[in-house]
């Protein structure tokens, strides 16, 4: 249920229109009709913005209010495969564990796995996610039920009479038309990677994205093996070859980007191209460490993703945000790199822009009420010091107390409001048993 809310003397932490992160103690924040109505220093001004409507008062003592996180690379329903097999090299993990199970997937299983993933994201401060998986309409069903923002990707290929998969622009355009009026959704074209399709398919997909002006979700340069094989097949590295095929002309979520050269970093620095950095997954699968400092220096915009829950094994943006900062400092042996404010902006404002939610990701009058409330009474937040630093280095998912998207509570005082969590857990357990070989 969407309701008007007045946050009562809460500590506001938000990126601003100028790109700086600011902290305001004892702020009054009014939410009306799904948007921030005002950020005020006193109750009278804040109530004025609510124009006499009914509202709920949310006491802000020992609480921070910040924008929800945007998870820019995910395969939600892989939650069903979580902890089923780990500590395996990517090839064995994929061929021995993941692929045999994924063959059994159907619409219902993907809806169940997506609900489990959404429950976890809501609990850990995330209000918007990308998704790249099978049965995207099942993920949409789960996201709309949850009231969650989803940038889903469409596999716009159809089997031809010989059984080969051929691109069909009508599949994509139909989805764009169908979901155009649903404010929680954004449509992407799914292009798995440079290594999975026949060569002829790529220019067609790139032209389709350009024709529809559609965002592309794609894995780029995740492993050294991908780079080696791409060089063998095409004589170019992955990002360079994808550019040659015609990609990176429309908004792009380029996931991983672990193994790049300077030419590729320049390609990824194009406007509307976002590098979805997934540090936990890249480490866990032994893929390596993306150098996001070099990407930023080249002018690219880096955002954050968890990747799927079977290769992380969390959908906890607090974890990946901290890991991204720690890893960048360690890689360059420079403690000042990737400071707290930069990381918070990356996880909120920049991530929302990457997913196509241009009016979400910061807290100011007129913006979407996509908000998380964080309790500061855990030992990690004490003694009280810089709350931006505490959010990066000390906070945990469990500190998130409440979360709203477009003014609707998805979690209120630790209880999920839109998803039936117990039912979801029960169904996920049944689903995982069905997928096991």
Q: Show contacts with a copy of itself in window 102-121 (CB under 8 A).
A: 116-117, 119-120
Closest distance to a copy of itself from the beta carbon of 157 (Å): 30
Which tokens go with 36?
């921030």
Question: Between residue 20 and residue 79, which ones bind a copy of itself under the rule CB under 8 A?
Answer: 79
- Whichever of 293 and 364 has its CB closer to a copy of itself, that residue is 293
Interface residue with a copy of itself among 56, 57, 200, 335 (CB under 8 A) is 335
Using CB under 8 A as the criterion, what x/- string covers residues 304-323 for binding a copy of itself?
--------xxxxx------x
Question: Between residue 121 and residue 140, which ones bind a copy of itself under the rule CB under 8 A?
Answer: 123
CB 353, CB 24: distance < 8 Å: no
Q: Does 324 bind a copy of itself (CB under 8 A)?
A: no
CB 390, CB 21: distance < 8 Å: no
Helix, strand, or coil (residue 10): strand
Alpha-carbon span 293 to 238, nearest angstrom: 20
The stretch near a copy of itself (CB under 8 A) out of 29-37, 131-139, 166-174, 336-344 is 336-344
- Whichever of 318 and 409 has its CB closer to a copy of itself, that residue is 318
Alpha-carbon span 7 to 359, nearest angstrom: 20
Which tokens go with 49?
């913005």
Alpha-carbon span 237 to 265, nearest angstrom: 11
- Whichever of 80 and 185 has its CB closer to a copy of itself, that residue is 80
- Whichever of 244 and 319 has its CB closer to a copy of itself, that residue is 319
Which tokens go with 253?
């979520």
Closest distance to a copy of itself from the beta carbon of 125 (Å): 13
Alpha-carbon span 334 to 395, nearest angstrom: 22
Interface residue with a copy of itself among 330, 358, 413, 423 (CB under 8 A) is 330
Interface residue with a copy of itself among 41, 159, 286, 299 (CB under 8 A) is 286
- Whichever of 201 and 289 has its CB closer to a copy of itself, that residue is 289
Interface residue with a copy of itself among 35, 270, 329, 375 (CB under 8 A) is 329
Neighbouring residues of 198: CB distance < 8 A, sequence distance ≥ 6: 164
**Strand pairing class (273-277; 63-67):** unpaired
Which tokens go with 87?
């500590």
Which tokens go with 426?
């029960």
Q: How many CB atoms lie within 10 A of CB 21?
A: 23
Interface residue with a copy of itself among 270, 393, 412, 417 (CB under 8 A) is 393
Helix, strand, or coil (residue 345): helix
Question: Between residue 186 and residue 225, which ones bind a copy of itself under the rule CB under 8 A?
Answer: 224
Interface residue with a copy of itself among 28, 93, 133, 409 (CB under 8 A) is 93
Q: What are phi and psi of 69, to 5 degrees?
A: -80, 155
Interface residue with a copy of itself among 52, 161, 198, 379 (CB under 8 A) is 379
């Amino acid at each position: 249920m969407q309701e008007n809310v007045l946050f009562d003397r809460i500590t506001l932490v938000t990126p601003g229109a100028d790109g700086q992160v600011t902290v305001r103690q004892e702020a009054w924040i009014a939410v009306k009709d799904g948007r921030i109505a005002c950020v005020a220093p006193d109750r009278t001004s804040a109530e004025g913005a609510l124009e006499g409507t009914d509202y709920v008062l949310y006491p802000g003592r020992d609480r921070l209010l910040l924008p929800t996180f945007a998870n820019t690379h995910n395969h939600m329903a892989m939650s069903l495969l979580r902890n089923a097999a780990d500590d395996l090299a990517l090839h064995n993990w994929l061929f021995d564990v993941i692929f045999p199970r994924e063959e059994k997937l159907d619409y219902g299983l993907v809806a169940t796995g997506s609900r489990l993933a959404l429950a976890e994201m809501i609990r850990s401060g995330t209000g918007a996610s990308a998704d790249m998986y099978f049965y995207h309409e099942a993920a949409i069903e789960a996201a709309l039920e949850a009231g969650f923002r989803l940038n889903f990707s469409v596999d716009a290929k159809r089997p031809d009479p010989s059984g080969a998969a051929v691109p069909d622009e009508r599949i994509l355009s139909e989805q764009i038309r169908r979901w155009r009026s649903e404010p929680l959704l954004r449509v992407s074209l799914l292009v798995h990677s440079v290594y999975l399709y026949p060569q002829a398919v790529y220019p067609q997909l790139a032209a389709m994205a350009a024709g529809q002006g559609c965002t592309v979700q794609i894995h780029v340069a995740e492993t050294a093996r991908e780079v080696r094989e791409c060089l063998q097949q095409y004589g170019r590295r992955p990002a360079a070859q994808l550019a040659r095929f015609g990609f990176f002309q429309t908004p792009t979520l380029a996931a991983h980007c672990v193994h790049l050269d300077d030419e590729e970093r320049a390609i990824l620095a194009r406007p509307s191209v976002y590098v979805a950095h997934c540090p936990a997954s890249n480490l866990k699968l032994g893929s390596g460490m993306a150098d996001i400092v070099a990407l930023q220096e080249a002018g690219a915009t880096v955002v954050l993703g968890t990747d799927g829950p079977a290769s992380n094994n969390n959908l906890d943006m607090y974890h990946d945000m901290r890991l991204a900062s720690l890893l960048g400092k360690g890689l360059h042996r420079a403690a000042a790199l990737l400071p707290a404010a930069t990381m918070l902006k990356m996880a909120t404002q920049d991530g929302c822009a990457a997913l196509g939610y241009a009016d979400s990701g910061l807290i100011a009058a007129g913006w979407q009420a996509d908000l998380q409330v964080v309790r500061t009474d855990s030992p990690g937040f004490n003694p009280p010091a810089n709350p931006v630093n505490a959010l990066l280095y000390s906070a945990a998912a469990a500190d998130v107390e409440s979360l709203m998207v477009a003014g609707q509570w998805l979690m209120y005082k630790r209880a999920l409001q839109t998803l039936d969590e117990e039912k979801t857990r029960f169904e996920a357990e049944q689903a995982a048993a069905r997928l096991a070989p």
